[in-house]
Structure formats: C-alpha cells, structure tokens
Structure 1
C-alpha cells in the first residue's frame, strides 16, 4: 500500500491522557503529521460498561479514519484498548496499535516483588490484566486499584486549575492500604492520563517508588510499523479533534499547543 507523506498518525483517547503517548511518539518521529482525537462527549471511559465502550470506540474511529485518512491509528487509552481493540482492528483496514499496561517492566524492576497497577475501574477488572500479571509477575504480589478521580485530576492539571493533593494521596492509598502494600516499590500507571500527574503521585508517596507506563514502548512500535514510509520534510501543526467542543476544551488550548496541536476541530 502506498502511503502519502502527509498521511497522519491518529491518536485516540477519551480525553487528554493520550498526550502521554503522543509526546514520546513525536520525539521519535518529529516530522510525522498528527491528529489527536478525544471523545470529550463520551468522557470518562473508566466508569462505562464494557458493552458501551466496545460499541462506541470502533464507530468513532471509523468516522475519524474516513475524515483524516491516517496511515496508522493508536488507541492511546488503556480502557479502550483492553476492551475494544479486537473490534477496532476488525473494523479498520489500517494498522491499529493498542496501549498495554506496563506490567512486564514493573515485574522486571520490582525488588520487593510487590507492585501496584493503578488504572481506571474498567481497566483493573479486565481479564487481560489477570493474564499479564500471571505471565510476567507470577512471583509477585500484584495490587490493583481503580481511580476515576485521578483521571479528572489530569484533565484539571492540563486546564491549569488548582489541584487537590488529596486526590493523588487517596489513589496511592488504594494500593498501599492493601495487604503487602507497605512493601510496594513500583506502580504501573495503567491509564494514559496518569503519567500526566506522575509528579503529584511521587509527591504523595510515603516512601520512594518507581512509576512505569507504556509511552516509550508505543513510540517504538509506531516507528517500527512506519519504517520506510515517507514523511514531510518538516514538522507540521497538529490537529486536535473533540467530539464535544466546550469551555473545558477551550481551557486546554495552551496545553495542546505545547504538544504541537495548534488547530482544534469538532467531530
């Protein structure tokens, strides 16, 4: 298949979390045209049912692919990936990259053999997480906690709002207060929103711990899948597209520009 140099990479998330995937991808492929799509009308995903997400995500991605003709799509959302990835791949005729909780690197890095998986409520209950934990962390105690409030904290941070430190503290307490939690030395940030508030989480931790997420690995995967394809000679302004454009989206303009997203579209 011939790919036009200006065919973009499409990143998709429920909100701004996927920016934690976009940043390392842009560092790896600085001239890649980018469309970043946020389902602001459906946000947040972590509190929705599996059936809702499995129906909504492929339909939205179908419309986005039709409009922007990307060379590749990235579901930059752990919840959508763990639930809807097979449905999306069946619906689209371009490569689709999903976001996997970074359980393998956490298991490799943990000295205490106790690590946490911090995600949305929908992600942490998925059988997919059970399989990853069994495969890569069989000798570890794997603690899990879902935090919807931490997703909102990341969105608020990018809008420039004052943040409540109790939110990060409570999210970590959901792991630390479980049996063995006092020995936890690594935390998997299993929601793409959470690397955006890693600083707040580290500040709330009662002892030093490491945080891992999948951004760098996704960037390497995108580079591999697009290897040899033509790109424009220089970086181009990126497009951010929202399913609902409102005051909250307007408040994100400065943060989006910092990620090279200078134009806002409505879907």
Structure 2
C-alpha cells in the first residue's frame, strides 16, 4: 500500500503563472512529488466573477483528489484564494491547504519610505479578503493599489514566443508601462514607492519589464518562497513530509493544462527546465466529476 507521505502535492493556478510558486516549492521540498494544473482554458480568473472562479476551484480540487490522490493543495492563485479558499477548507477540512494573498505584510518589513505599490488582478484587489487585509494595516504604511487588467493574460500569451532582446514594444511592456505610470513615482526618496508587491503569480515573469520601469532600487515582493515555507510547516505538522526513501518510482512532477499544450511546454522549459513530455492536457468540467486526460508531446 502506498504511504500517504509519498502522495503528490497538488498545485493549481488559472494559468502558467503558478509555475513561479511551483519553482519555490520544489526548491523548498526537494523530496516531494507535485502535480501542477494550469486552468488556461478558463483564464484569466482575475476578470471573472467569484461564482465562476469558485466553481472552477472546486472542480479542480475534486479532480486532483480523485485522479491524483493529492495529500495537500497549494492554490497558487491570488484570485482563486480570495474567491473560494474558505469554501474549499470547509468542504475538505482534512486536506492541508495553502492559499495566496498579496504579500503586503512582508512589504511593511522592508519599506523605508513608507509607500508601497501593490499590483494585482482586479478580482484579487477588489475582493473582500484583500480589503480586510489592507484595512488591518492602515496607518502602518501608504499602499498604492493598482488593478492591472489584461496583464496576466498578456504574460500567459507570451510564454511560447521568443524572448525579445528588449522588453519595449511588447503587449506585456505596454500594459506594465500604463499601470506603473498610473501609480506615481517609484524610488527611494521621500514620498516615492520603494517597494512593489507583485500580487499575481504571473507578474514575476514580467520582472524585466517592471524593473526597467521602476528602477534598480525598488524592492519586489512576491509570494513563492513564503508559500513554500508555509507548505513545509503544514506538512510537518500533519506528519506528511516525504523522506527520500519514501519516493516511489512515479514521476516527481506532472504538469497539466486545460488550454494549449505548447504554451505550458514553453513555460515549463523556460522556467523549470522541464522537458515537453512532462506536460499533458486535461479537460475538467465544473458541472460533473467526469474528466479526461491525454498525453501529448511536442510536434
């Protein structure tokens, strides 16, 4: 009988942005197995309603439990966390569960000017969960909050294209430039934002664009490493950490997408150094538990 400790950890996002969290998880937990699911066919979550995002979150959680026997779940999506994680906790109380929220608390520890920029999807930044988080920190710093409509989707669409020599002129650059300019001055002088919270897992993959726009002195805060450490703490508390000798012969990483396979393959190669044959397609409906999976390889 397979030990529960050797079962995989499920990780999902609305697209390939959650690979930034998966990268941190694999570094923190090198003996664990992972199943990653990108719900790219239904992205972007950040521009959809809570009911829609909640239905997708429940369907994917159910799929990962039933088809892959996951021992823990990381919701590597700020929007899905805000919209549905409380319901997932209620439905699966025994499942170790880690969600994401924009890392504005860690930003407080590093800002020197007291002005912090926060970028994220509209779904995340207008959620009750984020509003409560922000309200609890009022008076400790000034937060400049900027929804970035379309940015996650633009990053998603760019992953299977060659990396341009210069970021200027791309769709991702144009959106980054628009939103960063709307926020005001970045820098280390009084009244400037010296810290930028990347409140969407996709945004770290636009780091070059954002860095060019805000300058070298601004500190970026993202959630991959804190989430990885919290996942370790939960697994330790539940006695579910995998030891090296508990690893079965099964692959230590499986990647699935509900959208286009070339996109996931390109992202996996670029950001995880994972070969194309580790990527698969899957269809998951929100209405039933029926799912289908197919394995495809590069053409």
What value does the CA root-mean-square deviation take over the aligned residues? 2.7
Question: How far apart are the structure 1 equivalents of 2:97 and 2:215?
Answer: 39
Contact residue 202 and residue 208 of structure 1 kept, 8 A: no
Aligned to 2:28: 28
Q: TM-score when scaled to structure 1?
A: 0.88
Aligned partner of 1:186 among 189, 195, 204: 195
1:260 Cα deviation after fit? 7.4
1:259 Cα deviation after fit? 5.1
Aligned to 2:58: 58
Mapping of residues 159-170 of structure 1, within 5 Å: 159-161=160-162, 162=164, 164=170, 165-170=173-178
Mapping of residues 119-158 of structure 1, within 5 Å: 119-158=120-159
Alpha-carbon distance change, 251 to 26 in structure 1, aligned in 2, over 3 angstroms:
closer
Question: How far apart are the structure 2 equivalents of 1:140 and 1:188?
Answer: 13
Aligned to 2:221: 212
Q: Residue 136 of structure 1: SS of its match in structure 2?
A: coil
Question: How far apart are the structure 2 equivalents of 1:238 and 1:124?
Answer: 31
Aligned to 1:173: 181
User: Which string of whole-angstrom CA distances, capped at 9 and with x for unpartnered residues, describes residues 15-39 of structure 1?
Assistant: 0111111111100111211100011
1:250 Cα deviation after fit? 5.1
Contact residue 237 and residue 260 of structure 1 kept, 8 A: no
Contact residue 185 and residue 193 of structure 2 kept, 8 A: no
Alpha-carbon distance change, 3 to 82 in structure 1, aligned in 2, over 3 angstroms:
farther
Unaligned 5+ residue runs, structure 2?
284-299
Aligned partner of 2:242 among 222, 225, 230: 230
Question: How far apart are the structure 2 equivalents of 1:260 and 1:7?
Answer: 22
Contact residue 238 and residue 260 of structure 1 kept, 8 A: no
Q: Residue 201 of structure 2: SS of its match in structure 1?
A: coil
1:211 Cα deviation after fit? 0.9
Question: How far apart are the structure 2 equivalents of 1:246 and 1:259?
Answer: 14
Larger Rg: 2
Which piece of structure 1 moves more, 94-103 or 160-169? 160-169
1:182 Cα deviation after fit? 6.2
Alpha-carbon distance change, 43 to 104 in structure 1, aligned in 2, over 3 angstroms:
same
Question: How far apart are the structure 2 equivalents of 1:208 and 1:12?
Answer: 32
Q: Residue 18 of structure 1: SS of its match in structure 2?
A: helix
Aligned to 1:18: 18
Contact residue 10 and residue 73 of structure 2 kept, 8 A: yes
Q: Residue 17 of structure 2: SS of its match in structure 1?
A: coil
Q: TM-score when scaled to structure 2?
A: 0.79
> How many residues are treated as equivalent by the alignment?
265
